[in-house]
Amino acid sequence: MDLFLQTLLNGLLIGGVIATFTIGFQLAFGVLHVIDFAVGGWVVLGGYLGYYMAAGLGVDGFLAIPVAFVLFGAIGYLIGPILYNVRNSRTARPELMALALTFGLFTLLRGGMLTAWGFNTHSVPTALSGESLAVGPLTVPLIRVAAAVFAVAIASGLFIFLYRTRYGLAIRATAENRQNAALMGVDIRRLSANVYGLYAGITAMAGVLMGAIFSVNPEVGLRYTLFAFFVAVLAGLGSVGGALVAALLLGVIEAFVATYVGSSYSLLAIFATLFLVLLVSPRGILRHGL
């Protein structure tokens, strides 16, 4: 029973971190209508930034979180208009062209990281690394608790921003119908750039946390891309609220399969779950997707 509870706790905590970057992924899809294959690359770059700041400046890895948001948010802001132009071009199949663009961006990021840093694996050192708290029979890693708290804070902030501000209203209106939003005076091009920058910044911040909990190397980016895709489809494409539920479910499934069956079967169990959910509810587990 203790092992069951410990596994459940670990799954929920890591699911909370996965939720952080998948919520941003959903937001970007809702506005740009593009599945961004580069999401794993942003996660890994955030982890590398945390490692090199800690190693080079001798500071705590957590200090890299706001830097990651500003730096990669600015880069995302510059990439956003390019993605918008491709997605809204008059070429045949612009959605496929945009998909190919994000895949190319992911390949470029992965190749650049391999060239610069090789296959070496690094972890982001923080003051909470290796620290844990005993709660009855359970051992709670403090770094995972901090990451889960961060995820809840980011998710809450995004929901407040989307549902309590005029700019959030413009984002939701654009996600619903961009033509009507444009007629109401929304600058779709600028809004798309802002949303992609926000998404890239949040994803890189989550990458710092993932690097502190696990480790980073260029090869793990594809795994994070698969996680984001799984959560997005399971939640229902474009459903920001469903992403939180789906990410927690993903974390629990992976934790139980890794503990009781074997970590090599994790992806098999995850995609079997995805297949079953799509058969029963194609619009996602909350039925709010596109």
- Quick: pLDDT tens for 205-249: 989 988 888 888 888 888 888 888 888 888 777 676 777 788 888
pLDDT band at 287 (very low <50, low <70, confident <90, very high): low
Task: Please give the model's pTM, rounded to 2 decimal places.
Answer: 0.87
Q: Return the closest-CA partner of residue 233 out of 267, 284, 275.
A: 284
Q: Return the closest-CA partner of residue 146 out of 161, 127, 121, 123.
A: 127
At 90, give phi and psi (nearest 5°): -95, 15
pLDDT for the residue 50? 92
Buried-exposed string 186-224: b where 16+ CB fall within 10 A, e elsewhere: bebeebbbbbbbbbbbbbbbbbbbbbbbeebbbebbeeb
Q: How far apart are alpha carbons 60 and 43 in whole angstroms? A: 19
- Mean model confidence pLDDT for the chain: 85
pLDDT for the residue 238? 66
Query: Could you read off the pLDDT of 249-265 as tens digits, one per residue?
Result: 888 888 888 888 887 88
DSSP string, the chain: -HHHHHHHHHHHHHHHHHHHHHHHHHHHHHHH----TTHHHHHHHHHHHHHHHHHHH---GGGHHHHHHHHHHHHHHHHHHHHHHHHT-SSS-HHHHHHHHHHHHHHHHHHHHHHHHTT--B----TTTT-EEEETTEEEEHHHHHHHHHHHHHHHHHHHHHHHSHHHHHHHHHHH-HHHHHHTT--HHHHHHHHHHHHHHHHHHHHHHHHHHS-B-GGGHHHHHHHHHHHHHHH-TT-HHHHHHHHHHHHHHHHHHHHHT-GGGHHHHHHHHHHHHHHH-TTTTTT---
pLDDT for the residue 53? 92
Query: Does residue 289 carry a pLDDT above 60?
Result: no
pLDDT for the residue 88? 82
Query: Does residue 40 carry a pLDDT above 70?
Result: yes
pLDDT for the residue 200? 92
Q: How far apart are alpha carbons 243 and 70 in whole angstroms? A: 24
pLDDT for the residue 286? 65
Between 116 and 16, name the one with better pLDDT.
116
pLDDT for the residue 12? 85
Query: Could you read off the pLDDT of 191-208 as tens digits, one per residue?
Result: 989 999 999 999 999 899
The percentage of residues in the chain with a pLDDT greater than 90, rounded to a whole number, is: 19
Query: Could you read off the pLDDT of 73-130 as tens digits, one per residue?
Result: 999 999 988 988 888 887 778 888 888 899 999 999 999 999 988 888 888 888 887 7
CB 192 within 8 A of CB 32: yes
Which of the given ranges, 78-82, 119-123, 155-159, 279-283, has the highest pLDDT on average?
Answer: 78-82
